[in-house]
Amino acid sequence: MTKPKPLADHLQKYLIPVYERKAKSIIAIDVRRFTSYTDSLIIIEANSQRQVTSIAEHIIKHLKEQKISAVGSEGVKEGEWALLDYGDVIIHVFESRIKAYYNLEGLWADAPRIDLLGFETEPLEDDDED
């Protein structure tokens, strides 16, 4: 595995909805040197099929509100492995057992990880405060 790269600003819009849904684990990988079809992979692990669907639907809704639509998506309703293709970023949301079986991190072991430590979403403002 190579040294983690710093988080690029353009990835934050994809990560905010993920962190809002409390995924089990989140890994971001820079694959620009290895493939021409995308720049980054975000691999998310969920605790259950229901959480896979919930996270994927939340990402889609959050990005659509920002006028960002997926090029394609698969598996959202089934809940084992949802794939959301946003062109330069591809998001995989896995149920734990399926994530372990396909081991995408192992497939991309030579690609640098993107450092997500310290990434935090903006705190929600409390409307009751004056």
* DSSP of 100-121: HHH-HHHHTTTSPEE--TT--P
Mean pLDDT is lowest, of 45-59, 93-107, 114-128, for 114-128
Going by pLDDT thresholds of 50, 70 and 90, the confidence category of residue 120 is: low
Q: Under 8 Å CB-to-CB from 57, ≥6 apart: which residues?
A: 76
In angstroms, rounded to a whole number, what is the distance separating the alpha carbons of residues 16 and 7?
Answer: 13
Task: Tell me which amino acid residue 20 is.
Answer: E
- 3-class secondary structure, 54: helix
Rounded to 5 degrees, what are φ and ψ at 11?
A: -80, -20
Model confidence over 66-119: pLDDT tens digits? 999 999 999 999 999 999 999 999 999 999 999 999 999 999 999 999 888 766
In angstroms, rounded to a whole number, what is the distance separating the alpha carbons of residues 81 and 65?
Answer: 23
Second CATH level (architecture) for the domain 9-114:
2-Layer Sandwich (3.30)
